[in-house]
Structure 1
Amino acid sequence: MQNMLKTLISKILIVIALLLTTSLVANTTEVVSIERPKEIIKHFQNGTVDEIYFQYDSAMAKLLPPHRMKPIWSQLLANYGEFIGFGLQDSTTNGDNLIINTDLDYEKAIMNFMLAVNTKTNKITGIYFSEQEKKNINPEIAKPTPSYIDTSKFIESDIIIKDKFDLNGKLTIPNSFDKKITFVLVHGSGPSDMDGTLGENKFLKNLAWGLSSFGYAIVRYEKLTKRYGRELMISNPEMTQDDEYNNSIQGAIDYINSNSMLNNSKIILIGHSQGASTITSFYDNKDVDGMILLSGTPRKLYDLYTEQLEYIFNIDGIVRPSERTIIQEHKDKVSYFKNYKKGEVKADSLPMGLNLEYLKHLDLFDPIKNLNQSVKPTLILAGSHDYQVTKVDFDIWKSNLESKENIKLKFIENVNHILGESEKMAVPADYQKYTPIAPIVFDEIIKWINNL
């Protein structure tokens, strides 16, 4: 799952929206100026985002209005440090769209800025920021390896997961694979790399290496929307949660079944955050032998987002008028969606920048119902210092599912959303600190596995 003001600060990879282009004048051979992406970036720098908005086509105008653009530059600076300058550029075409890629050099990373323009209308059809390369600005500072990870006990190799597009992935397998259990790791919301990078943490890599140190095989992969975000916005603008997740998960299952080292092993899905609720749709998949839900919610994401905004804006004890406006705008959009019947959707009227089909799917998706129909062994873990998915969510899981013998629930004290140790309720800035998964999380997973 991701996308307004301070919420984005909790996402180290900032990806804002859609497709990519640069423009030509209709029916002429005029070449688009290579300077246009630089002009757009300068508008971001100067805060003159209205000048960008006026260049959008109607779809972009709905999806990325000025109030969503204003925080982007400050968030990039907060996450990647001082902007140094422009780097390499290249361009390509996709139908009527011309796409220009421009490297942005920051203190801590090289970012890629993709700008897309319709060559017939000269209107911007998309912009997209993605991290190209992180700089090792403190090479002398090595992060300590958690005690439960022993890199001498496993090997890791590159693999390809087949979705509609190929996805780069990793197979982590112990030197002696006699436990015959393979885990598939499923990301949370938003574009995410295969390591689950968030600030100074690599949650999914940490999880994979920890589990493999205990003798289990793990498959993880780059999320579809991370690798192919711009292509998907062109080819599938009405993408749903199923489109975002399920083909990739099935691709990982197919990979395991086709691999001679793995095909006799049990397959257990581990989903984090939005991925936790998503994997419940595999409750009747014959190839899946169990599920682990980490920091997942049974509630609607737009309701969770309301609570997150209210919490984040009140961290300093002061909710400013502009912040109240953002909260109210989100509530108004949720109300608009809940009361929507049919017909054309008003511009910028839907919550979280999601399309109508995605929201309609979320509204019908019911992980509690899925798990009530499931007979698969399932473990649900949540942390007491998670502000994104709280005890309210855990209590809903518990009240609806604790009577089922195949489901175990555990609320872990003093861990945050990525299950790192935390002495207090987490805040977005905490993810800029290295906080590996707490050992108790592995204790609970191993205990559950041993009782299967």
Structure 2
Amino acid sequence: MKKLSLLLSVVIFLTLLPMTAAASGIQVILNNKPIVFSDAQPFKKGTDVWIPLRQSAQAMGMKIGLTKGTDKVQLTDSLFRVSLRIGTNAAVMNEEQTVSYGAAAISKANRIYVPLTFFSKVFGFETAYDNDRSEVVIGLPKNFDDIFAPTIVEFLNTGAYQQLSDNYFDETIKPLIPVKALQAGWEQTIATAGNFIGIHKIQSNTNDTVNKEINVTLNFSKENVALLIHLNESGKIIGLRLSPLQPEAALPAGLTEEDVTVGTGSAYPLEGTLTLPKNATGPVPAVVLVQGSGPSDRDETAGSYKPFRDIAWGLAQQGIAVLRYDKRTFVYGKSFTPEMLTKFTVKEETVDDAIAASKLLKGDKRIDPSQVYVVGHSLGGMLAPRIDNEGGDFAGLVILAGSTRSLWEIIADQNADFIRAMDDKDPKKKANETWLAAEKIRAEKLSSLSDKEAIEQTLFGIPALYFKEMDQHGAQSLVSRLSKPILIMQGEDDFQVFAKDYSQWQEHLKNNAKASFKLYPGLNHFFVNYEGKDQNTVEEYNHPGNVDKQVILDIGQWINKQ
């Protein structure tokens, strides 16, 4: 807000920064951090890229050993035990599963090399090679959260606090969370929440731009508890926090909710919730809620926020039906193949499903088909004009923290802010400045690329086709021609979408007499009013908060006046 995987696990508006500029030869980036090869170097031969195994394994935090008198190599860490032989193309995982990985491992100048496919086939890592930049990118496996989080919970539940610290904690965090504090925290949680039952849900925080964040909901006999795990770019824990979860809010009186399916009969049906005023008479106006980028549930859950639930309940209390649904990448993201993802665009990610949601509402006899509106947040706000134009055919549009600019421009600005805040003495700052300048030059050439070229290249770690296709349906030209009612809303404390984005909406809509604008002091990207610790960082989203009531009231009054 992915290398390819970033598309599905990080908010598009926030993109991870590489930690250094590219070096000469083939550069290998592992989990967003370059591997420094002291002697053996990666090389390309034919269609394969060959990676020195020892230093790669060490960068992954694994121990490597070679059995004397044999060609057998062992790689071990707390999650994996892998053995392979030089001259073969198969590895044995955890002494059980044999996995083939393409070309056979080789020995060259007393150094062991494996093909890039070794990392994808054996460990399930996301891998990509950019020939133009001579850069290999190796990222965490798609199911990393589902493997990593249960492991951490198991260590806590079995009292293996020392092993957890030794194997998973970054050295910088060990003095801050000593083993005794780990033990005290878990035992105190049990004393308060009751006996541990199991894991209820695992979800990544898609708003974290610098480090990976995993949110785990734990079931205890008395109450649920949130486990927050922060990882650095090397996959080591730099933060661990247990906190009671707020009880699920009760549906307000006078409302009713029912389960619906968006896209019934399609390849990707999506479960959703339709919120209705219980005592409404006659067909009522309705709203389709469209989420921001990244995989998102129907509530658009982000940290401690559930903004779409807040909006749905608040609008229904004003006599407006609201449809919210799980996003396609949230439901099906892990099933998408690498080939599918290379061609993945916002049309598949958001547009098609929002159009299906509009048609679902218009076919409901309880809904006034001439009064169906779209409320798009963040990327959903950017795409709302396109959704309307390509089949949504809404009565009006509400844009929450959206933009008419190219997505890559917003990402560039966000990265520039992040780099600007770095310490001038940090050697990574200059490298990142150089990287950002190079990415902006590449972005400016997007329109000249063919679709095939765009698929084969990346921009800000994302396949360039994603940006190119979106630019071909830019919001700016659609908005300038728009004559329908449109309401633009922006929080002044939003550090993901900027004041100039709000101003540009005003400029593009200056000839639309039906355009309205609302700017809210003190509200952040999710229209929550927050002051305190972690303010103006993604961490502030972890502090409980709700969408400001005035914002929801303003949306409802605007719709009811149309």
- TM-score, reference length from structure 2: 0.59
The equivalent position to 1:408 in structure 2, one of 507, 516, 520, is 516
The equivalent position to 2:153 in structure 1, one of 73, 80, 84, is 84
State the identity %.
Answer: 21
Q: Distance in 2 between matches of 1:52 and 1:326?
A: 29
**What is the CA deviation profile of residues 346-384 of structure 1, one whole-angstrom value per residue up to 9, with x for unaligned ones?**
999522332232121122232122122222111010010
Q: What residue in structure 1 maps to residue 497 of structure 2?
A: 389
Q: Which structure exhibits the higher relative contact order, with contacts defined as CA atoms closer than 8 Å and separated by 6 or more residues? A: 1
Q: 3-state DSSP class of the match of 2:287?
A: strand
Give how far 1:157 is off. Answer: 1.4
**What is the CA deviation profile of residues 192-231 of structure 1, one whole-angstrom value per residue up to 9, with x for unaligned ones?**
1111010011111111111112221111111111111133
Q: What residue in structure 2 maps to residue 137 of structure 1?
A: 225
Q: Distance in 1 between matches of 2:443 and 2:128?
A: 19
Q: Distance in 2 between matches of 1:35 and 1:370?
A: 58
| 1:172 matched to 2:275 | yes
Query: Is the contact between residue 355 and residue 392 of structure 2 (CA under 8 Å) also seen in structure 1?
Result: no
Query: 1:319-334 counterparts in 2 under 5 A?
Result: 320-334=426-440
Query: Is the contact between residue 305 and residue 546 of structure 2 (CA under 8 Å) also seen in structure 1?
Result: yes
Q: Quick one: structure 1 residues 83 and 310, their matched pair in 2 at CA, closer, same or farther if it must change by over 3 Å?
A: farther
Query: 1:340-379 counterparts in 2 under 5 A?
Result: 341-342=448-449, 345=453, 350-379=458-487
Give how far 1:414 is off. Answer: 0.8
**What is the CA deviation profile of residues 367-424 of structure 1, one whole-angstrom value per residue up to 9, with x for unaligned ones?**
1221222221110100100000011100111122133111111111110000001348
Q: Distance in 1 between matches of 2:114 and 2:311?
A: 44
Query: Is the contact between residue 10 and residue 428 of structure 1 (CA under 8 Å) also seen in structure 2?
Result: no
Give how far 1:76 is off. Answer: 7.0
Q: 3-state DSSP class of the match of 1:381?
A: strand
Unaligned runs of 5+ in 2: 15-30, 33-81, 100-112, 156-195, 205-211, 219-223, 227-242
Give how far 1:339 is off. Answer: 2.6
The total of aligned residue pairs comes to 389
Q: Distance in 2 between matches of 1:319 and 1:293?
A: 40
Q: Report the RMSD for the aligned CA atoms in angstroms.
A: 4.6
Q: What residue in structure 1 maps to residue 548 of structure 2?
A: 438
Q: What residue in structure 2 maps to residue 274 of structure 1?
A: 379
Q: 3-state DSSP class of the match of 2:294?
A: coil
Q: Distance in 1 between matches of 2:411 and 2:496?
A: 8
Q: What residue in structure 1 maps to residue 344 of structure 2?
A: 239
Q: What residue in structure 2 maps to residue 309 of structure 1?
A: 415
Q: Quick one: structure 1 residues 450 and 368, their matched pair in 2 at CA, closer, same or farther if it must change by over 3 Å?
A: same
Counterpart amino acid of 1:311? D
Which moves more between the two structures, 184-193 or 205-214?
205-214
Counterpart amino acid of 2:460? M
Which moves more between the two structures, 389-398 or 363-372?
363-372
The structure carrying a bigger strand percent of its residues is 2
| 1:428 matched to 2:538 | yes
Q: Distance in 2 between matches of 1:8 and 1:180?
A: 33
**What is the CA deviation profile of residues 101-122 of structure 1, one whole-angstrom value per residue up to 9, with x for unaligned ones?**
xxxx9x9875499xxxxxxxxx
Q: What residue in structure 1 maps to residue 294 of structure 2?
A: 190
Which moves more between the two structures, 368-377 or 54-63?
54-63
- TM-score, reference length from structure 1: 0.72
Q: Distance in 1 between matches of 2:12 and 2:359?
A: 36
Query: Is the contact between residue 275 and residue 323 of structure 2 (CA under 8 Å) also seen in structure 1?
Result: yes
Q: 3-state DSSP class of the match of 2:128?
A: helix
Q: Quick one: structure 1 residues 353 and 406, their matched pair in 2 at CA, closer, same or farther if it must change by over 3 Å?
A: same
Q: 3-state DSSP class of the match of 2:314?
A: helix
Q: Quick one: structure 1 residues 211 and 131, their matched pair in 2 at CA, closer, same or farther if it must change by over 3 Å?
A: farther
Counterpart amino acid of 1:339? K
Which moves more between the two structures, 396-405 or 316-325?
316-325
Query: 1:216-231 counterparts in 2 under 5 A?
Result: 216-231=320-335
Q: Quick one: structure 1 residues 190 and 346, their matched pair in 2 at CA, closer, same or farther if it must change by over 3 Å?
A: closer
| 1:249 matched to 2:318 | no
